[in-house]
Chain A
Amino acid sequence: MPDFFTSIGTLLDGSFLQSGALWALSTIPGFPPIIQTVHILGIAVVMGSVVLLDLRILGLAVPSQKISEMTNRLMPWLWWALASNLISGAFFLFGRPLRYFNNPVFGWKVSFLIPAVLLTLFFHVMSKRQESYWESSSKRLWSARGIALLSIFLWIMVAMAGRWIAYAEYIYYPA
């Protein structure tokens, strides 16, 4: 784990953010599973927006929907879902910062998440700049297909790594 990464955990540990998150998680009845469900609903939106768009670009799903139209229609849903997941995830992150920022699997999740977000943002911005940008030439369409394949891989790995964080904890924190 890089030092700057683990030091975020040290910084958060013992802060008011931690006490606030721990208060919410332990006081509000059913709060942990409810927040986790909100987090998974966000992942559902990721699957129903960017992953579905990727499948469309690869020619595997929803043939009657147009790529540019789908991008403009679905991307706002994705960004709102990611914002929501940042908040729902923060409760757990702030609650036990050392466990996350020292956990290599959380490190992997972040390392998949950042390129996934940047790649999706790039795709969305280019599509906004010019109408039907990704469909305007066969070269661009092939680039879009490459991006789609990479994007599916990255988003699936984000979700996968997310689920493995809890299992890695048993390895790195056997107590």
Chain B
Amino acid sequence: MGFLTSPKWIDVENWPISWEIGGTSWFPFLESIHVIAAAFVVGSILMVDLRLLGIAAVKYSISTLSKELVPWTWGAFVIATITGLGMFITRAASHVVNPAFQWKIALLALAGINMAYFHFRVYKNIAQWDDAAPTPIQLKIVGSLSLLLWSGVMLAGRWIGHII
């Protein structure tokens, strides 16, 4: 019995809270909050990505821009995660074997790695490029990857509903 096909996922679906969400208007309510929060996550990241590409907000230093947006991105991410988990538990067993869901989790992980690489590696040399208007290639790669990965997360996330 594999991890993804474990009957434990069925138990999750049978939690009283899962039934409560799945059988009431709680589900569409959580879903609409999820979409708004996710749009906010991507919208705020998009602004930083476009700055990394040297396309937008070039008047602002990269550190100021990202420092001021990060709390909002994380706040929205927490809301998206909570509402997402709320929806997940109503159909846990089907979601874990849903290819779109699996893609979404994988792309989320890659987007996280890309962000971590930016913050822990690239950020060390911040003094060299913080105010740069045509940005160095390394930043352009990180920014483009972020744009692609987050769009992919959205696409996979939206695709979940077409498979389930």
Seen from chain A, the residues whose Cβ lies within 8 Å of a Cβ on chain B are 30, 32-34, 36-37, 40-41, 43-49, 51-52, 55, 61-65, 69, 73, 77, 156, 159-160, 163-164, 167
- 1/0 per residue, CB under 8 A from A, across B44-74: the answer is 1011000000001101100011001100100
Select which of A33, A48, A49, A61 is within 8 A of B68 by beta carbon.
A61
Contact B56 A41 (CB under 8 A): no
6 A–B pairs (Cβ distance < 8 Å), ordered by A? A41-B154, A52-B47, A69-B59, A73-B57, A159-B35, A163-B28
Contact A43 B35 (CB under 8 A): yes
* Total contacts A-B at CB 8 Å: 86
Task: Assign chain B's interface to a size class.
Answer: 20 to 34
- 1/0 per residue, CB under 8 A from A, across B15-44: the answer is 000000000010010011001101110111
Q: Which residues of A contact B46 (CB under 8 A)?
A: 44-45, 48
Seen from chain B, the residues whose Cβ lies within 8 Å of a Cβ on chain A are 25, 28, 31-32, 35-36, 38-40, 42-44, 46-47, 56-57, 59-60, 64-65, 68-69, 72, 151, 154-155, 158-159, 162
Cα-based distance from A51 to B72 in the complex (angstroms): 12
Cα-based distance from A95 to B72 in the complex (angstroms): 37
Select which of A37, A69, A77 is within 8 A of B158 by beta carbon.
A37
What is the distance, in angstroms, from A147's C-beta to the closest C-beta of chain B? 20
A159's nearest neighbour on chain B, judged by CB, is B36
Q: Which residues of B contact A47 (CB under 8 A)?
A: 36, 39-40, 42-44
